[in-house]
Structure 1
Amino acid sequence: MGDKKSLIRINYLLLLLLSSCIEKFVPEIPESDGELVVEGYVTDRPEDYVIRLSRSRAIDLKKSLPETGATVKILEGEAIEHPLTESADGAYVSKAGDFVGQVGSKYTLDIVTADGVHYQSSTERMIKTPAIDSVYFEREVRFTDVEDQLVDGIKILVDTHDPTNSTRYYKWEWKEDWEYKATYPNSYGWVPGDRITDPGHPVFNPSPNVFCYNTNSSKQVLIASTNTLEKDVLSRFEIKYINTLGGELASLYSILVKQYAITENAYKYWRELKGLSESQGTLFDKQPYALPGNVGNLNDPEEVVLGYFEALSVDEERIFIRREQLKELDFPTNTCYYEKIDSVNYWSVQDYLDQGYLIYGVGGFLASFVHMVPRDCADCTYHGSLEKPDYLP
């Protein structure tokens, strides 16, 4: 028995000795700036033209690496130069009014990085974009991606056509805004007392945070071609689907759809990038292989540059959708309706305020209690910004 115990002790000591000699192996990952990424275009609208430069993200990084200190300009034709100013890290801007793109003119993006590397895009001629015929919505029930349950919603659709049959390749972007309305606005504030002889009292709040606003923009590639069709006509192209689980359709919703005519080469690029991004992640994450665009290193044609500079004319249309227009849709019950509206006596109000409650209403005449609800049901800033876009009614 003694020999057995001695053997166990020896094995244990050997294990301790071996473990003390083992060091954690951390593989060295070589640092790399990645490929240059170019995002931006010039349009025929008097707006800020922004060219964003960055380096493609390494697998272990969560944020892109901005390319700062570059000299960026847009060449118009063969003689006119429009310089851009770096307004933020990697963002180079031509302010509205500096110049406006013209249909039929040719544009080239010219970049010289801080370390002297010269990049240039192919020359792009701005072609005329046909007008949008209509932007509208239709109800549709779909399965959710996560829980595989049926939910109600609407799809935003666009119709367009080119009577000259010369466009054939289209791209869209959208920007949406929606209004959030607080279920139980915090109509009263609270004046605290000494908590010994005076608990405090409610005071009317003339400006409760009732309406707040959110905005979002497209991040997917939206393209279509009529090249295989007899006529240059697109009908019922889906721009976006919105279900009733979120708050977008709860009060007032607006979407601005921008339409662009693009070249065949641009269409091929966006089509391939769309396939890559849908299988891997966002547009300029590290991809299984590098997809070159129309920008290149003038001194090293083998270097891969991501992104595609375009010269685009624009047609756009905005629609507004009010909750009253969606009466046939099934909306989930507002969770705030399930929240218990607590009737709280004056002596307990401060405790509730400390827990994140707000005062929704007061008791009757000479009553010494108030009605309180959680902050997310009473203050709209919990769900958005008080700043209302100018174009919303």
Structure 2
Amino acid sequence: MRRPDPTAPAKRPRDPRIDAFRGLALVMIFVDHVPGNPYEHFTLRNFGFSDAAESFFVMSGIAAGLAYSGRFLPGALARDGLWAAVRPVWGRAWTLYLSQLFLTVWAIAIFAWGASTFDLPGLLTKINLRQVFENTGAALVGIPALTHQLGYVNILPAYSVLLLCTPLALVIGLRRPLALAALAAGLWFAAGLWRLNLPNYPNPGGWFFNPLAWQAVFVTGLLIGLRLREGARLVPVSRRLFWLAVGYLVLVIAWMKIDPLGHWLNHQLSLLGKAGAPFHLISHDKTFLALPRLLHVLAMVYVISCLPAVTAAAASALAAPLRLMGRQGLLVFCTGTLISLAFQVAMAARPGEAWLAWGLPPLGIAGMLAAAALGDAARARRRPQAAAAGATPHGIAAE
């Protein structure tokens, strides 16, 4: 049995905010992936430019920073070598890749079954399925190459690519965090300025979640995780910055809810565009993570991180189901994705049944919670075996 390393830091308790907000993001992603239900009017995208996807990427970056950074410290690298640090990160990226293929195959099966069972051939053209059924050979090349992604099944490819780059980001971030932040900001700006993206095939264009742009929120989370590991904050608490962030969040709500104000502000952005401002600085584009969206998620993260009441709420008994789902992020996401696709077919087959729109989402969330409970129980059974084998568990899993 491996003896404990006396120089290793003590195991840190899990931050309840990470699990709770990741669980909340997963619930909102699920609700948004069942279009036409009444609960979608209460998800984050109705109250801000960013939505649950940006929050998911930030939480994933924080989790990766906490889970993997210790292996990249100089002492750990000298003791165990670089490959021991890189292997679990790339192993996780491989798991995400396999999960993406699994979800894609089942998405095709669910919609094909729905089309034949309910005589709805239109389903075969939904969620970017047309290429699969009308240009099958090219689509079968694009699916494993991640260049052909189906709607509602397109978050994991970007996450997987970002994890492939995480070892390099950690090496830089642990030594030169400002350099990593500058590189991330520069890549985000260049991607929007020159429309840089990974290719789609056989469709034209690029990825909906462009990793060259979305790395900005992931790296922000990564840097937050690195500082949390040291028991510190990435950005210090500042009363002036806090109220500036609050002011922007309030402005965005007013922008979205007060039509005359929204039209006027959008017109001002269009004037900036005509004057030559790059589109990703003055639009609300999601693929290139336009500046208003990016600022919104950054402001939201900062405000939440400054409020002690948020930490207490995240640790409360009421938030336990969210924390449970957050701990089993990948399992819950995959479960929610498959359920949401099945519910889309059910609602298309029975468009006049209002009870489906009201009843299915709570059932889906219950299914996600059940999957999380099963996953948590399985992890608890594996933990003594890992300890007996001498494994060193992380304070937080990079789900």
TM-score by length of 2: 0.18
- Greater strand percent: which structure? 1
- Greater helix percent: which structure? 2
Structure scoring higher RCO (CA < 8 A, sep ≥ 6) equals 2
Bigger radius of gyration among the two? 1
